[in-house]
Amino acid sequence: MPRDFVTLRLGQCGNWQVGSAFWHRLCMEHGINEDGILEDLSMDAGDRKSAFFYQADDEHYIPRAILVDLEPRVINNILSSPYSRLYNPENIFMSKDGGGAGNNWTQGYSSGEEVYEDLMEMIDRETEECDSLEAFMVMHSIAGGTGSGLGSFLLERLNDRFPRKLLQMYSVFPNTQEGDVVVQPYNALLTLKRLVNNANSVIVLDNGAQIAADTLRIQTPSFDQTNRLAATIIAASTQTIRFPRTLYSDLVSLAASLIPTPRCHFLTTSYTPFTNDQIEEAKPVRRTTLLDVTRRSLQPRNRMVSAPLTKTSVYISNINIIKAMLTRMRFTSVCFVFESDN
């Protein structure tokens, strides 16, 4: 049975910087315009929009998304953007006092107690609309106040309330070299405890990743540029779910192949090549081979995490999601060549 996903977008990063770019990407890939209308009818076959969208009575497609922030600025930006009519207005939450969390984990966490009932009403309503809920996908930053503090609170509560549903986290980690929040190390540390204990899978995204500089030749990438890269990678990680084939058509099979033990669930991602329809700064893509793409996907410069590799570093598990017309036999032969070379 096809499974559904509810997305929670928390704070400035989860809503505006990464979350909005993610949904724009999904709309483009499924032929849906900013009003939720299916424009490209050729996309109405072979894909599974119902995993992330549902159809309203007027046949508009609406994301299964809940937008949450403790201050109004970011949400107001979304409501004044071209995609303002895409989202269900009943699934948009702003704190009544509008004071935000002040980049403070404790403030964000304590605010969770105050807004818990309102948020759970939204979440329950959205899950009841699902035919078969498989997982919650949470997009947030662990450096700010709302994404880290309120995110930690919701993670604990969702784990208690929906123990049989997966909690898939897309967590943007802080840049230790250029952080503009003095207390972000404390915010990150307090959030990490909840990610370890309560999440089923965490895809780590690093704002300081070298992929923008090394691959796209952007010497001083902005947060907007790196967040668009992150949104592209998040969308790519759901390709096998939204365009199902025989393998990895649900999140359970993906997680089972990548996570060796329950607590060893922090995952890194790589992406190659970036194209102009994904990010404007992408360089023209020359003709390449499947073997080249496989090799590049394992190179540090194409990873979304800035972490040093040593000669003793190994991959415990690995999944290659390749968007191309090819047979499994061809890909298996490439993997054999690659393993023989290494």
State which amino acid sits at residue 150: L
**pTM of this structure:** 0.91
C-beta separation of 220 from 266 below 8 A? no
Q: Are 86 and 34 in contact (CB under 8 A)?
A: yes
Residue 281 has pLDDT above 60, yes or no: no
Q: How far apart are CA 342 and CA 337, in angstroms?
A: 9
More confident residue, 276 or 136: 136
Q: What pLDDT is recorded for position 125?
A: 96
Binning pLDDT at 50, 70 and 90, where does residue 209 land? low
In whole angstroms, what is the distance from residue 211 CA to residue 208 CA? 9
> What does the alpha-carbon distance between residue 70 and residue 316 come to, in Å, rounded to a whole number?
39
Is 60 exceeded by the pLDDT of residue 282?
Answer: no
DSSP at 280 = T
Range 317-340 average pLDDT = 76
pLDDT at 37 over 70: yes
Collect all residues with Cβ–Cβ distance below 8 Å to 56 and sequence separation of at least 6: 36, 62
Task: Domain 4-341: give its CATH architecture.
Answer: 3-Layer(aba) Sandwich (3.40)
pLDDT tens string 155-189: 999 999 999 999 999 999 987 766 677 899 999 99
3-state percent breakdown (helix, strand, coil) of the chain, nearest 5: 45, 15, 40
Predicted local confidence at residue 55, as pLDDT: 92
pLDDT, mean of residues 58-62: 90
DSSP per-residue letters across 237-262: HTHHHHS--SS--SHHHHHHHH-SST
Compute the distance between CA of residue 188 and CA of residue 182 in angstroms, rounded to an integer.
12
Average pLDDT over residues 105-132: 95
- C-beta of residue 229 within 8 angstroms of C-beta of residue 306: no
The arithmetic mean of pLDDT across residues 325-330, rounded, is 72
Token reading at 200: 């089923």
* Whether pLDDT at 290 is above 90: no
When the pLDDT of each residue in the chain is averaged and rounded to a whole number, the result is: 86
- pLDDT above 80: residue 127: yes
Residue 270: strand pairing partners: 303
Contact status, residue 184 vs residue 103, Cβ threshold 8 Å: yes
Does the pLDDT at position 234 exceed 80?
A: yes
How many other CB atoms sit within 10 Å of the CB of residue 59? Answer: 9
**57-61, 239-243, 309-313: least confident range:** 309-313
To the nearest 10 degrees (0 to 180), the angle between helices 105-128 and 151-161 is: 40
